Amino acid sequence: VRTRVLSIDPLDPDPAVVSAAASTLRAGGLVAFPTETVYGLGANATDAAAVARVFTAKGRPSRNPLIVHVADEADARALASSWPPAAAALAARLWPGPLTLVAQDAGRVASAVTAGGDTVALRVPAHPVALALLRACALPIAAPSANRSSHVSPTRGEHVRADLEGRVDLILDAGPTPGGIESTVLDVTVDPPRILRPGLVTPAAIAAVLHRAPSSLASDGGPSPSRQPGALRSPGLLSRHYAPRARLILAGGDAPRLAAELRRAGSRVGLVTAGTAAARLPGVETTSLPLEPAAYARGLYAALRELDGRGVDIVVVETPPEGEAWMAVHDRLRRASASGGVE
Alpha-carbon gap, residue 316 to 281, rounded angstroms: 13
Sequence-ordered strand ranges (E) for 79-153: 99-104, 119-123, 141-142
Site string for ligand TXA, 225-264 (x = CB under 6 A): ---------xxx----------------------------
Q: Which of 24, 44, 145, 273 binds ligand TXA (CB under 6 A)?
A: 145
Please, which of residues 74-103 interact with ligand TXA by CB under 6 A?
Answer: 98, 100, 102
Q: Residue number with the shortest CB distance to ligand TXA?
A: 236
**Binds 134, which of Mg ion, ligand TXA, none (CB < 5 to 8 A, cut-off by type)?**
none
Between 171 and 269, CB nearer to ligand TXA:
171
177 near Mg ion (CB under 5 A):
no
Alpha-carbon gap, residue 320 to 292, rounded angstroms: 9
CB atoms within 10 A of CB 19: 14
Alpha-carbon gap, residue 248 to 263, rounded angstroms: 14
Of 106, 130, 134, whose CA–CA distance to 120 is shortest? 106
145 near Mg ion (CB under 5 A):
yes
Alpha-carbon gap, residue 88 to 226, rounded angstroms: 23
In DSSP terms, which residues pair with 123 in a beta bridge? 69
266: Cα separation from own chain's centroid? 34
| Burial of residue 225, with CB atoms counted within 10 A of its CB: 0-12 exposed, 13-18 middle, 19 or more buried | exposed
| Burial of residue 240, with CB atoms counted within 10 A of its CB: 0-12 exposed, 13-18 middle, 19 or more buried | middle
Rounded to a whole number of angstroms, the minimum distance from the CB of residue 23 to ligand TXA is: 21
Q: Residue number with the shortest CB distance to Mg ion?
A: 145
Stretch that binds Mg ion, among 3-11, 57-65, 139-147, 334-342 (CB under 5 A): 139-147
The answer to whether 115 and 102 have CB atoms below 8 angstroms apart is no
128 near ligand TXA (CB under 6 A):
no
219 near ligand TXA (CB under 6 A):
no
Q: Which of 24, 64, 267, 337 binds ligand TXA (CB under 6 A)?
A: 64
Between 237 and 249, CB nearer to ligand TXA:
237
- Three-class SS of residue 39? strand
- Three-class SS of residue 286? strand
**Binds 170, which of Mg ion, ligand TXA, none (CB < 5 to 8 A, cut-off by type)?**
none
The answer to whether 248 and 333 have CB atoms below 8 angstroms apart is yes
**Binds 328, which of ligand TXA, Mg ion, none (CB < 5 to 8 A, cut-off by type)?**
none
Please, which of residues 106-125 interact with ligand TXA by CB under 6 A?
Answer: 114, 117, 119-121, 125
Total residues binding ligand TXA (CB under 6 A): 28
Residues in touch with ligand TXA (CB under 6 A): 35, 37-38, 40, 64-67, 98, 100, 102, 114, 117, 119-121, 125, 143-145, 182-183, 185, 196-197, 234-236
